[in-house]
Structure 1
Amino acid sequence: MRLLHDPVEVRRGETEGPEAFLWRGRLWKVRAVVAHWVETAPWWQPTESEDPPGPGSDLLLERELWRVEAGRMETSGVFDLSFDWTDGRWQLVGCAD
């Protein structure tokens, strides 16, 4: 899987997960959600605002990850989409196409 940090626009439907995403000007339709999990920030690493981290570190910094199978026309692949709760942004963080 290639690691990426590309911003994407995600469209959610009636379900909680992504239904489609716009990446590099192309619309990818989600065919299946393969996995879904939440990661917290590593408490042992300093953040931009705190150096070094102390006992009051915010362990609630989370990002939600969705591994999806998505396609457009005859092309398909598996993608890892990340939603960062701190800034409300989506990123494409992995791709196996």
Structure 2
Amino acid sequence: MRRYDEQVQVRVVDPGDGSPARPDAFIWRDRLHVVTTVLADWLEREAWWEVDVRRGEPLPYERRVWRVEAGPGRWAGTAVYDIARVVPLDRLVLAGAGAAAAGGAGHDPGRGAAPVRPAGEGEWWLLCRLD
């Protein structure tokens, strides 16, 4: 596995079944990589209690990670990549509460609280390439 942590541009498609929009292609190092298969996806949250924003540390984030098989062209072959959409927790709102309702972060949808959804697009990052 090779770690990169480089920002990428991602084109997404909406599957139309209520699940999150998934990556369809991404541009990494000036090359278009077309996603052939989505292998898995999961949600990660940074430990907000370990971040001290008063000392200038960046805000905690939530990221949805997608493990995809993708390649830069028909003849170049494919590889497995982890790409993530990162959203700072201050940009999350309670679903159905409207964009003006901040502070939805910290509610855990798995514990019966109102679901949390991103309020903005967020940034996409290529985290690693699995060899």
Q: Which residues in structure 2 correspond to 1:1-97 (within 5 Å)? A: 1-15=1-15, 16-47=21-52, 49-50=53-54, 61-71=61-71, 72-74=73-75, 75-86=77-88, 88-97=122-131
- How far is the alpha carbon of 1:50 from its aligned partner? 4.5
Greater RCO between the two (CA within 8 Å, min separation 6)? 1
Q: Which runs of 4+ in 1 moved over 6 A?
A: none
Distance (Å, rounded) in 2 between the aligned partners of 1:20 and 1:73:
14
Larger Rg, first or second structure (1 or 2): 2
Give the number of the structure whose residues are more often helix, by fraction.
2
What stretches of structure 1 of length at least 5 have no aligned partner? 52-57
1:46-94 deviation line (CA, Å, top 9, x unaligned): 24x156xxxxxx88x3111000000122221000001011271000001
What stretches of structure 2 of length at least 5 have no aligned partner? 16-20, 89-120
1:10-57 deviation line (CA, Å, top 9, x unaligned): 00123310000000010001001011000011245224x156xxxxxx
Identity over aligned pairs, percent: 37
Q: In the alignment, residue 33 of structure 1 is paired with which amino acid?
A: V
Q: In the alignment, residue 24 of structure 1 is paired with which amino acid?
A: R
TM norm structure 2: 0.60
Give the number of the structure whose residues are more often strand, by fraction.
1
- 1:54 is matched with which residue? none
Q: In the alignment, residue 87 of structure 2 is paired with which amino acid?
A: W
TM norm structure 1: 0.80
RMSD: 2.0
